[in-house]
Each structure stands twice: as C-alpha cells, then as structure tokens.
C-alpha cells in the first residue's frame, strides 16, 4: 500500500483545506479506494512564522515538532507542510523527529529551474522573503527573483494574506502587487504563501502564476504512488 501522508497544517486552516482539495484532485483515482491515505493535523495555534523570523516572536519550532510527532505517532510515513514560511524551520523539525518531509520550496524550485525563466516574481510573506527560501535555491540555478517594494508588500501582499486568513475576498488587494512584478519584467509569478493561490484565484495577469500548493500536491502524489 502507498505510504500514509501526514499534513502538518493549520498555517492557516484555509490553506490546509486548499492543499487537501488539490491533493485529491491530483490523485489518479476512479473510486474511493484509489485515493491516498491522509492524516491531517491542523494546528492554528502554531506561532506566527514571520513574527519569529523578523521580530523575535515566539519560536514555532516546538509546535511544529509536536505536530510532526503526532502525525508520526498516528502512522504518517511522509509529511507535507502547506506553509512556505514554515520551511525556514523544518531542518530542526527533521533533526528532532527524523520525519521524512517533502520540501515544498525545493519542489517548486526544481519545477522552475526546468523552465528556466530569466526572472520570476515572488509574492510571499515578509518572513519567506527575508529567509531567502526561494532566492537561494533559484539563484543557484541562475534565475533572478524580483520581490515587491516595501510599500507593495505591506499594502497589498501582507494585507491580502491577512484577508484570506480572515475569510475575506483578497483579489483587489493582491492584484496590484502581482501586476507590478510582471510590469518590472517577471516572466513567472510564484504565489509563495499558501494563502495567495486562494487570493489570486480568478485573476487574469500578464504573467503566469505558479501555485506551490499545487506543486506540493503533485509531488506528494508522485512520491506516494512511486513507493
């Protein structure tokens, strides 16, 4: 049987639900029994990842470790984390738990490196941008990464992420930042926060948008069905 997938989520709950829907849609199945076995631990009390990275907020690592241990204890064999910023803390989670974690940022970087666009635009939390999660990986492949200005980040990207977390329509908030990156030469946009594919849904932009949640779902299906 395929390995049990554990979803370490809750960052935020809507993003976790979006990941699971995409995992189901990405699975080649004609009946219930063809789908993957999945455990979801959705813990919205995990401390804010960006606050920890930028402003010395509470460290989310203990809560991430606890979640990984709960999933492993329940039988998960492959863990996915549908939160980009949380990946800044996953090395320590692996070190403390020995969990096999499918790395979303690595999967996205590999997908983009195969396409080799000269410049991509990164829409993400300020924490993800500050940690260099995408810049480091794509830079090694010779791909430049453009990010929003400080004003665009605060007024549009951060506001859109907060709106999705609050259950609000965020399209009018995120669209100006996405268009600005395309106007500055980005041939591809990364929706590098798992709230942003939700915010960007239905918007037509001058550059295509790569959805890391979708990439992670497809990678999880591939890993589970190859086992």
**How far is it, in rounded angstroms, from Cα 147 to Cα 180?**
10
- Collapsing DSSP states into helix, strand and coil, what is residue 103? coil
Catalytic residue among 4, 8, 26, 83, which?
83
Q: Kindly provide the b/e burial profile for residues 102-138, where b requires at least 16 CB atoms within 10 angstroms of the residue's own CB.
A: bbbbebbbeebeeeebebbbbbbbbbbbbbebbbebb
Distance of CA 25 to the CA centre of its chain: 17
Active site includes 193? yes
Nearest to 171 by CA among 134, 138, 209, 144: 209
Handedness of CA 103, 133, 185, 176 (dihedral sign): positive
> 34 is written with which tokens?
């063809």
- Do residues 3 and 23 touch, judged by C-beta distance below 8 A? no
Catalytic residue among 39, 104, 178, 193, which?
193
Which residues participate in catalysis according to the annotation? Answer: 83, 193
């Amino acid at each position: 049987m395929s390995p049990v997938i554990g979803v370490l989520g809750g960052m935020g709950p809507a993003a976790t639900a979006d990941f699971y829907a995409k995992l189901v849609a990405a699975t080649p199945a004609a009946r219930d029994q063809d789908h993957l076995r999945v455990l979801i631990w959705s813990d919205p009390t995990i401390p804010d990842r960006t606050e920890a990275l930028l402003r010395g907020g509470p460290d989310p690592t203990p809560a991430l470790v606890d979640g990984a241990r709960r999933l492993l204890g329940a039988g998960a064999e492959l863990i996915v984390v549908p939160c980009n910023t949380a990946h800044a803390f996953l090395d320590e989670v692996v070190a403390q738990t020995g969990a096999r974690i499918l790395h979303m940022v690595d999967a996205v970087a590999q997908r983009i490196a195969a396409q080799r666009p000269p410049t991509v635009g990164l829409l993400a939390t300020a924490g993800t941008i500050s940690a260099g999660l995408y810049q480091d990986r794509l830079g090694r492949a010779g791909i430049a990464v453009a990010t929003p200005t400080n004003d665009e980040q605060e007024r549009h990207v951060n506001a859109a992420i907060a709106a999705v977390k609050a259950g609000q329509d965020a399209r009018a908030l995120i669209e100006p930042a996405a268009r600005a990156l395309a106007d500055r030469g980005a041939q591809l946009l990364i929706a590098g926060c798992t709230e942003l594919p939700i915010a960007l849904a239905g918007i037509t932009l001058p550059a295509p948008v790569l959805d890391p949640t979708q990439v992670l779902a497809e990678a999880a299906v591939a890993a589970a069905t190859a086992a």
